[in-house]
Structure 1
Amino acid sequence: MVEMKNRKVVIFGGGQVGERKASLFSRYAPTTVISRSFTPGLYELEKQGVNLINTTVTLSDEVILGHIKDVFLVIPTTSDQELNRRIAELAHQSSSLVNSVDGLEDIAVPSIIEKGDITIAISTKGASPALSKYMRQKIEEIIRPEFEDMARILKDIRPKLIQQVPKQEDRSRILWTILEDSDVWEALPESYDKALKIALNHLINGNN
């Protein structure tokens, strides 16, 4: 997965595809959408920090290059395939990466599942977006809220684990003992603090 923090993203096109791309990338990077018009959803995203640039000028090469200067990722989503192709080519000339529904892309965007500290990316490398969506639905059925809480537990005990258990193999053994303890999993829906206490007992016992 590419680290996007503080890397600029520019999307050309204010339709439904542009909205979906902006919704995704604005979580990770400063995102700008350039278009003659925008969906209501994009106006909502503007309230959350997405930069909307309304343009009525013809997107000449010079204008496009001005918009994509020092941009990390360029995403053409207009209804004009020829314009999308030209934007992608100019982006490559400017050393920007491209994500495009019309090909000529450097980054394939996976389907993302986010549950707290858990992030799962699903990709078929463009072979079948429908399969990616199907797999996402199936995985979301498996990733119950307890998984998010378990990730939180392991995150919370990590500093103590590193401090109290010097050997990596011992730390790994303790973590697996916690993960395989049905008492921890059964306590999670009832009380996070109760589950955390059970997990910490493994740290105490495993270090003796």
Structure 2
Amino acid sequence: MLPLFHDFEGRSVVVVGGGPVALRKARTFATEADVTVFAPAFADGFETVDCECVRRELEPADAPVVVDDTFLVVPATDDGDLNDAVATAAREAGALVNRVDRRGDVVTPSRAESDRVTVAISTDGASPAISKYLRQEIEPLLERVDPMVSLQAELREELQDDDELSVPERREALWRVLEDEEVWQRLEDGREADARARAWDLVNDVGNTDDEE
């Protein structure tokens, strides 16, 4: 499988099941998508999720109705036959399937996140513990990187309008800033203005040549 970030804003997601796993899936997708959950009962916690909960006892024959006109379907019940029927109906309707009991069309990986960076982690189901371990190890690094992401974004935007530097020179300038320990240290110390000044010194050095004989 290939990792892929997808914008779910305005997309519809159906979760079938009301247990803890279904709750976790609903919570994940409800941050962006319009989520509807079908189940005869719901675990504690669904009341905190921005989703529509439809209390309904489903049979496999009901699957085509609940997956109609949706982008992604999550079969998350403890009934294998029902999960199979929901997955089949979803694919026939052109929807993606995110199964919780076996591989589907897509997986929802563990995520390490900061304000500016998201890293997806997956062992393809082989070791959820490793995914959790890596997330815990990576998150502190991402928090350290956030200020540099903001600085790089600012530099890229301003350099796009700089006709004096070629595209390769702009790339070189951004790498010089990224690799400069002094810039990193100033950012870590909260001296953002000083870090920005140092960054522009490095940028301005790129492409400058000494023409004196």
Coarse TM-score class (shorter-chain normalised): 0.7 to 0.9
Q: Provide closer, same or farther for how the CA distance between residues 97 and 154 of structure 1 changes in structure 2, counting only shifts above 3 A.
A: same
Question: Is 2:198 the counterpart of 1:198?
Answer: yes
Q: Please list, as runs of the form range in 1=range in 2, the aligned pairs for 1:143-182 lying within 5 A after superposition.
A: 143-164=141-162, 166-182=165-181
Structure 2 portions without partners, runs of 5+: 209-213
User: How many Å apart are 1:66 and its aligned residue?
Assistant: 2.1
Match of 2:22 in 1: 18
Residues 90 and 97 in structure 2, CA contact (< 8 A), matched pair in contact too: yes
Q: Provide the rounded CA distance (Å) in 1 between the counterparts of 2:54 and 2:34.
A: 17
Q: Provide the rounded CA distance (Å) in 1 between the counterparts of 2:66 and 2:161.
A: 49
Aligned partner of residue 14 in structure 2, secondary structure: strand
Q: Provide the rounded CA distance (Å) in 2 between the counterparts of 1:34 and 1:57.
A: 8
Match of 2:211 in 1: none
Structure 1 portions without partners, runs of 5+: none
Match of 1:64 in 2: 63
Higher Rg: 2
Q: Please list, as runs of the form range in 1=range in 2, the aligned pairs for 1:37-186 lying within 5 A after superposition.
A: 37-46=41-50, 51-61=51-61, 63-103=62-102, 105-141=104-140, 143-164=141-162, 166-186=165-185
Residues 39 and 58 in structure 2, CA contact (< 8 A), matched pair in contact too: no
Deviation track 1:38-76 (CA, whole Å, cap 9, x = no partner) reads 233221112xxxx22222343452x33222112111001
Q: Provide closer, same or farther for how the CA distance between residues 112 and 104 of structure 1 changes in structure 2, counting only shifts above 3 A.
A: closer
Deviation track 1:75-102 (CA, whole Å, cap 9, x = no partner) reads 0111222211221121122121111122
Residues 87 and 97 in structure 2, CA contact (< 8 A), matched pair in contact too: yes
Looking at secondary structure, tell me which structure has more helix per residue. Answer: 1
Q: Provide the rounded CA distance (Å) in 1 between the counterparts of 2:43 and 2:72.
A: 21
Q: Provide closer, same or farther for how the CA distance between residues 23 and 174 of structure 1 changes in structure 2, counting only shifts above 3 A.
A: same
Match of 1:8 in 2: 12
Residues 39 and 57 in structure 2, CA contact (< 8 A), matched pair in contact too: no
Normalising by structure 1, we get a TM-score of 0.86
Q: Provide closer, same or farther for how the CA distance between residues 36 and 59 of structure 1 changes in structure 2, counting only shifts above 3 A.
A: same
Aligned partner of residue 199 in structure 1, secondary structure: helix
- Write the letter of the residue equivalent to 1:147: V
Question: For this pair of structures, how many residues does the alignment match?
Answer: 202
- Write the letter of the residue equivalent to 1:21: K
User: How many Å apart are 1:18 and its aligned residue?
Assistant: 1.2
